[in-house]
Structure 1
Amino acid sequence: MSVVIPVYQGEATLAAIMAEIECLTSVTVSPDGYPFVVREVLLVCDNGPDDSARVMRELDAQYGFVRAVWLSRNYGQHAATLAGMASSGNEWIVTLDEDGQHDPGDIGGLLDTAMREQASVVYAKPTNPAPHGYLRNSASSTAKWLLTKLFSGSNAPDYQSFRLILGSIGRSVAAYSGSGVYLDVAMGWVAGTVVTSPVRLRDEGDRRSGYSTRRLFSHFWRMILSSGTRALRFVSILGVVVGAAGAAVALFILVSRLAGNEVPQGWASTIVIVLLGFGAVLFSLGVIAEYIGINVNMAMGKPPYLITTDPAHGPLGRRHPRVP
């Protein structure tokens, strides 16, 4: 396994995380009996405001399994994670945060879920609320639901920064993703089975979040823009609905006049023209948006296919006996 940790404000927490991961650098057996070993930990420096770079250098010198990846400037968590995934070289990639909220001891449970479900991506699913307050937790849950159900059409049931990914999938995503793509949306394009595994989040302590309200909203908006063309199709659907309403109103007015009912002069033709015309405009915009969406997907690097190895001969094909 390769563990990827994007580092922005990790000065106070990285040393403790490395001490926890160190015990996983020798062969460890998961609860279901699958042996695994962490071969490398990739610390990706995202040029944060603290002295994380110094700590990374010290950890690189102290541990043989630690490797620092240096970015030229601050690019954000997802870009840093992609850089770490591209630099990895093992069968599985684990991504987790620098703040100690994720317990490295849960990696075995993620692996068991992957083998049990034959999944190429496993997201950690917290069994307790994240330590951010009710308002932020609610907003985060709502945003993830909107993205998954209404916009992306992804098969990912939840998005968390604590993930287990097949190495071939992770490195391929890192290779083709454009600069504006959202990492989890990109994985949803090519990953097969995507599932979740229960974990318990730990407290972050006194560490302040690096995401302000403005950055969180910007992050959510980028998720929507990079999620594909499903949102654009709402325009076409709205046009059809408005046009149908115009046709229904015209039919109602015609039937009313044939029945001898009085209809206000001028109102009938005006409302029908407005509804039919507005519906036609919206439908036309939706068609144009679909053409734009195709080019957007190309710009984001969405691949038409991804060639991989025979799953039966890779990590998912290994059926180790359960350890008594």
Structure 2
Amino acid sequence: MVIPVYRGAKTLPALVNELAEYLAGRTTPEGRRFAVVELVLAWDCGPDRSDLVIRELAAQHEWIRPVWLSRNFGQHAATVAGMTATDGDWIVTMDEDGQHDPRDIGRMLDRAFDQRATLVYASPINKPPHSLLRNIASWTVKTVFLRLLSPGPTVPFHSFRLVGGEQGRSVAAYMGPGVYLDVALGWVIARATTCPVHMRDEGRAASNYRTRQLLSHFWRLVLSSGTRPLRIVSGLGLLTAALGLVLAVWLVVERITGATSVQGWTSAIVAELVVGGVIMISLGVIAEYVGTAASMSMGKPLYVVVGDPYGTFLDENPRDD
């Protein structure tokens, strides 16, 4: 399990106590045995004394493994850093604030096994404890991304997720800076799904991203989604060139029939339309090259080799989460 920690001094002890109950093993609603064998706490240099709490918890529990970041890199970076330190067959990522209920892990495992998926996102059935504007903005960003830009499985993503251990660690090892974690998971995950969950109240005052942070998250989604945005631009260039050619033919016909009386206007507009269309197509081709280079710099792998992806689905006693 991985928990990125930024401001968790008040909430971590109670959450760790909940997770400790899963060390001896639990049974999912459908009768599958699983156990939590490790907890990675990735400290992201938050403003409170979460580091002291992490040290105390690690000293008390040998199954807790701290990961210390040199500065504040953000939730996704801390999550990725924590994922690289895991060993389990499955990786569960949770928030530090107590909203995510550990009892849902068993249900997420059942959903993964039943649908033969290696990535399961929590799908909250109740509204998040944020402002209306924040919730609308979040829904809009995810909808636009999933319908237009997503390069992988088109399922709503969430910070409470269950992912195959090999796939998760491979993504964490290869992805470069500035890449959205869920976009990178889509590079290597063949099938993803969701699991309905009920979000609990936060164990502290609800945090809200500022407008600048929300825009930053959206822009990072766009930039890390590969060449699809560039292909949209290329498509617009082709459409513009085609419309320009049709309009140019129409203007030439008008000039021949005498409908246009201004000297030089037709030739200037035709030249602008044709040249503009060629420029847009050329920019689209250049954008494809830029997109390919960007994918390489992001660490997008050519392929990822893992064990039998469905072997664990035949095992009635998966070892851990």
Question: Do the structures match in fold with TM over 0.5?
Answer: yes
Q: Secondary structure at the match of 1:6?
A: strand
CA distance in 2, matches of 1:126, 1:137: 12
Alpha-carbon distance, 1:222 to partner: 1.2
Aligned to 1:157: 155
Aligned to 1:184: 182
Report if aligned partners of 1:99, 1:207 keep a CA contact under 8 Å in 2. Answer: no
Alpha-carbon distance, 1:276 to partner: 1.8
Aligned to 1:142: 140
Aligned to 2:42: 44
Q: Secondary structure at the match of 2:173?
A: helix
**5+ residue gaps, structure 2:** none
Percent identity over paired residues: 50
Alpha-carbon distance, 1:155 to partner: 1.0
Q: Secondary structure at the match of 1:211?
A: coil
Q: 1:205 to 1:21 in 2, by over 3 A?
A: closer
Q: Secondary structure at the match of 1:305?
A: coil
Alpha-carbon distance, 1:144 to partner: 1.1
**Normalization by structure 1: what TM-score?**
0.93
Aligned to 1:104: 102
Aligned to 2:81: 83
Aligned to 1:316: 313
Alpha-carbon distance, 1:263 to partner: 2.4
Give runs of aligned pairs for residues 106-145 of structure 1, distance below 5 A: 106-145=104-143
Alpha-carbon distance, 1:154 to partner: 2.0
Q: Secondary structure at the match of 1:307?
A: coil
CA distance in 2, matches of 1:109, 1:198: 9
Q: Over aligned residue pairs, what C-alpha RMSD do you find?
A: 1.6
Aligned to 2:270: 272
CA distance in 2, matches of 1:291, 1:156: 25
Q: Structure with the greater relative contact order (CA < 8 A, sep ≥ 6): 1 or 2?
A: 2
Q: Secondary structure at the match of 2:40?
A: strand
In the alignment, does 2:287 pair up with 1:293? no
Q: Which letter maps to 1:309?
A: G
Give runs of aligned pairs for residues 297-308 of structure 1, distance below 5 A: 297-308=295-306
Aligned to 2:53: 55
Q: Secondary structure at the match of 1:317?
A: coil
Aligned to 1:263: 260
Alpha-carbon distance, 1:39 to partner: 0.2
Q: Which letter maps to 2:220?
A: R
Report if aligned partners of 2:152, 2:189 keep a CA contact under 8 Å in 1. Answer: no
**Normalization by structure 2: what TM-score?**
0.94
Name segments (4+ residues, structure 1) moved above 6 Å: none
Q: 1:213 to 1:253 in 2, by over 3 A?
A: closer
Q: Deviations over 1:134-183 (max 9, x none)?
A: 11011011111122221233214111000000000011011111122111
**5+ residue gaps, structure 1:** none
Report if aligned partners of 2:100, 2:199 keep a CA contact under 8 Å in 1. Answer: yes
When structure 1 is superposed on structure 2, of 146-155 and 286-295 the one drifting more is: 146-155
Q: Which letter maps to 1:277?
A: V
CA distance in 1, matches of 2:209, 2:61: 30
Alpha-carbon distance, 1:21 to partner: 0.9
Q: Which letter maps to 1:127?
A: I
CA distance in 1, matches of 2:244, 2:157: 41
Q: Which letter maps to 1:273?
A: A
CA distance in 2, matches of 1:210, 1:43: 22
Q: 1:128 to 1:289 in 2, by over 3 A?
A: same
Aligned to 1:219: 217
Q: Which letter maps to 1:43?
A: L
CA distance in 2, matches of 1:83, 1:109: 26
Q: Deviations over 1:204-259 (max 9, x none)?
A: 2542426322222112211111110111112211111111111111232344456x
Report if aligned partners of 1:10, 1:98 keep a CA contact under 8 Å in 2. Answer: yes
CA distance in 2, matches of 1:178, 1:54: 30
